[in-house]
Structure 1
C-alpha cells in the first residue's frame, strides 16, 4: 500500500498521524455518513429508471439491494459486484442477464460522469506549478482520456446491441446462448427511448453530486477547508483506486486518495493518511451495519446471499 511505502521511505511521523485522527469534527463526519447513505437512495432512483421498461420495482427493494451489494464490495472486494444483480434477480424474478446489463450500464455512466467531474475539477483547482509528481499527473490525464474513449465506445456498442439484437442472435446457433443474449438485451430496454436515457444521465449526475458532497463533508470533518472542486479531485482519485482493493481493507482507495491529497493539495502524508483511513471507515462501517440490520430484520443469512442464483 501507498501508506506503507511512505512510512518506510520518508520517515513517517506517527505523532502527527495520531493527532490528525484525534482532531476530527464529529458533526461534519456525521453529515458525511448521512450523505453516504443518501448515495444508495440516489442510485436506487437511477436503477428504477434503468429497470422501468423491464419491470416496475419499488424503491424499498432497490435501496436494500444497493446497500447489500455495496457492503459486499467493501467486504469482498470487486468480487462483491455480483451480489446486486443476483439479489435483484432473486427478489424480483428478473432474468439475471438483464439485471447484469443494467449494472453494466450503471458502471459505464458512472465512469463518464466521474471523468467529467475530474476534468472540471482540474480546471477549477489551482495545482502546484512544479511538482515531483508531474509525470504521474500527466499519466492520469492520459488515462482519463482513454477511459472517456472506452466508455463512449461502450455506450455506442450497447445502443447497437439493443437495436440489432434480432440480427445478432440470428447468427447464433445455440438456443441457450440466444436466450441469454435476448435477456441481456431486455435489460437495455430503456435505451429505446431517448427520454429514458436522458433521465438516466440526469440521475447519474445527481448520484455523483451527492458523492462529491459526501467527500467534501468528510474533509471538513478532518479540518480541511478545501473547496468542493478540490474535494472532487480527491474523490475521483479514491474512486479510481477503489477498482483495485483488498477485501475489507481497501488499498487502492487509500493509495490514490493519499496521492491526490499530497500531490494536488500539498497535504502532509501523515494528515492525508489519517484522512484516508477515516474516509474508508466512514463509508464501510455504516454501509455494512445497515446491510447487517436489514438481513437480521428479514431473517436472512450469508447463505441466502450465496444461494441467490439457485432460486
Structure 2
C-alpha cells in the first residue's frame, strides 16, 4: 500500500509538471520558437556548462568542509560523486536526492546517514539565506518590474490565509497542547525509555543529525566556507546571464535581468516536481515577458537553459554513480555507536 501511494504521488507530480509544460507551450507560435532555437550560439551554452561544473565542485568542497567538523574526512572526489548522484535522484524522485547522497557517502566512507543529512539541512538553510539575499537585491534593482509579478503570484494565497487566521490560532493551540503532553509523558517515563532499544536508536540518530546541522559553527575556516558559498551563487547567476547571449531574442538583456531569472528560476527548480520541469519554464517565460521578450523567445531561453543544465547533471551524475559503485569503500572503521555507548550518552 505504501509503495502504491508513493507511485501515485510521483505520478501526480509528473502529471502536474506535464500540464504546466503544456500550458506554457499551448499558445506559442512554434515556427517562431523553432527559429529561435535554430540560431543558438553554442559558445555561450558551453561557457554556462563550465560555470556549472565549477559550481558543483565548489559545492562539493564546501560540503567536505562541513563533514570535517564532525571528524569525518571523505575525499573530495567521493563527496562530489555522492552529491551528483543525489542531484540525479532529485530529477526522478523530488526531495529524495538529499537522502540518496548521504547513503552513497555512507557506502564509500562509512559516514552515518544522520550526520551527513544534518550537514545537508545546514547547507539548504544557507542556500535559502543566499536566495533571500538575491531576492532582496533583485527587488532593489528591478522593483518596478517584479512588484506586480510577485503581488499577482501571492495575492490569492495571502487573502486565503487572512480569511483563515482563526483556524490557524486553533490549530496552533492544539499543537502546543500536544507538544506539552508529549514532553510530560517523556519526563514521566524517561527512566524506562532509556532502556528501550528503539528510543536509543532515535537518540543516536537525532544526535548525529544535530552534529551535522551545527557543523557550520565549527568550521576550520569560516572565510573559506563563505567564499565558496558566494562563488557558487555567483556561478549560478552567471550561468543564467550568459545564456541570454546564446539566443537572438534575449541577447539584449542586461545583467539585472539575469539576476531576476536566477531568483525566479531558483523558485521554479525548488518546486516539488521532477527537475522543475514545467514550473521553471512557465515562471521564466513569464518573467522575461516583463522585459519585453516574446513568449517564443522566453520559452526558447527556458528550454535551452534548463535542458543544457539538466543534461549536464545527468551526465555527471551517471558517471559519479558508476565511480561510487566501482570504487571500493575507503579504509576506516564505520562510525556507529553501540547500544551501551548510546545509553551512556543519554544518561549524560
Q: Same fold (TM over 0.5)?
A: yes
Could you tell which deviates more after superposition, 64-73 or 209-218?
Answer: 64-73
1:104 matches 2:121:
yes
Aligned to 1:157: none
Mark the runs of 5 or more structure 2 residues left unpaired by the alignment. Answer: 1-18, 159-186, 327-348
> CA contact under 8 A between 2:69 and 2:219: conserved in structure 1?
no
1:13 equivalent among 14, 18, 29: 29
2:270 equivalent among 240, 243, 263: 243
Mark the runs of 5 or more structure 1 residues left unpaired by the alignment. Answer: 143-167, 301-311
Question: Which structure 2 residues correspond to residues 275-290 of structure 1 after superposition, within 5 A?
Answer: 275-290=301-316
Q: Shift of the alpha carbon at 1:246?
A: 3.5
**CA 1:228–1:195: 2 relative to 1, 3 Å:** farther
Question: Which structure 2 residues correspond to residues 1-311 of structure 1 after superposition, within 5 A?
Answer: 1-8=19-26, 11-54=27-70, 55-125=72-142, 127-128=144-145, 133=149, 135-136=151-152, 173=194, 174-193=199-218, 196=221, 199-223=224-248, 224=250, 225-247=252-274, 250-263=277-290, 265-296=291-322
Could you tell which deviates more after superposition, 276-285 or 242-251?
Answer: 242-251
TM-score by length of 2: 0.69
**CA 1:249–1:126: 2 relative to 1, 3 Å:** closer
Q: Distance in 2 between matches of 1:103 and 1:266?
A: 39
What secondary structure sits across from 1:78 in the alignment? coil
Q: Distance in 2 between matches of 1:101 and 1:129?
A: 35
The count of corresponding residues between Structure 1 and Structure 2 is 270
Query: Could you report, residue by residue, the CA deviation over 1:101-148 in whole angstroms, capped at 9, with x for unpaired residues?
Result: 1111111110110111121122223744996x46326759x9xxxxxx
Larger Rg: 2
> CA contact under 8 A between 1:78 and 1:243: conserved in structure 2?
no
Q: Distance in 1 between matches of 2:216 and 2:325?
A: 37
> CA contact under 8 A between 1:64 and 1:291: conserved in structure 2?
yes
Q: Shift of the alpha carbon at 1:184?
A: 1.1
**CA 1:198–1:178: 2 relative to 1, 3 Å:** farther
Q: Shift of the alpha carbon at 1:291?
A: 2.3
Query: Could you report, residue by residue, the CA deviation over 1:182-210 in whole angstroms, capped at 9, with x for unpaired residues?
Result: 11122135344376555433322211111
Could you tell which deviates more after superposition, 184-193 or 38-47?
Answer: 184-193
Query: Could you report, residue by residue, the CA deviation over 1:195-246 in whole angstroms, capped at 9, with x for unpaired residues?
Result: 6555433322211111111111222212323222211211211111112254
Could you tell which deviates more after superposition, 271-280 or 186-195?
Answer: 186-195
**CA 1:134–1:248: 2 relative to 1, 3 Å:** closer
**CA 1:190–1:273: 2 relative to 1, 3 Å:** same
Q: Distance in 2 between matches of 1:292 and 1:248?
A: 16
Q: Shift of the alpha carbon at 1:90?
A: 1.6
State the superposition RMSD in angstroms.
3.0
Q: Shift of the alpha carbon at 1:98?
A: 0.5
TM-score by length of 1: 0.76
Q: Distance in 1 between matches of 2:60 and 2:274?
A: 24
**CA 1:52–1:29: 2 relative to 1, 3 Å:** same
Q: Shift of the alpha carbon at 1:6?
A: 4.5
